[in-house]
Structure 1
Amino acid sequence: MKRRIRIMAQSKSALRQALADADVDLGCRPLAQIEGERIAAIGVAEEEEIARLVARASTGISIEVLETVPDARSRLGLVSSGNRFLSGELPRGPGKKE
């Protein structure tokens, strides 16, 4: 199961080194932010990869699990099957409404 995680390190180079061989999806525009005295990045990884990263935590990185990412099948349950435009009002929320 995939999880959204925050990876933190002492420096940008340490963060880059920790993620160099890790199978973590950082999105199309990865962003590292300063949080206190540490550098953090948000990504998505499988539980096995998170366990690998945690095992290497002695190298100065820390991992925080933020949430579980729902799989495609469970996301389909969030989509209504009715006509969203029937009332004459545009639907709200993110995304393009056409």
Structure 2
Amino acid sequence: MHTDTYTTLCSVLEQKFHVDPARLSPSICLEEIGLDSLSLMEFVFNVEDAFHLRIPEDLLDPRQGGITLQHVCEVIEGLQAGSTTGAGAGT
């Protein structure tokens, strides 16, 4: 997990969802910090905008429970690695 990715995710949570930064850690489930299914979808949209990418639902389904910040980081970094090698999905 890259620090820049994690820092950006934390910034989105702090600025857009008013989450106390002291509560954030890579292993925390997003439900634990108050994101329900609707706000989790909003979070995914904000993350997509922040990283200028689209996250396929099969990689990060906002309806699934137990999503951690670390998992979100891994999904983003995997998509970024794919796009830098030309294997990214066309939009």
TM-score scaled by length of structure 2: 0.31
Bigger fraction of residues in strand: 1
The structure with the larger Rg is 1
Bigger fraction of residues in helix: 2
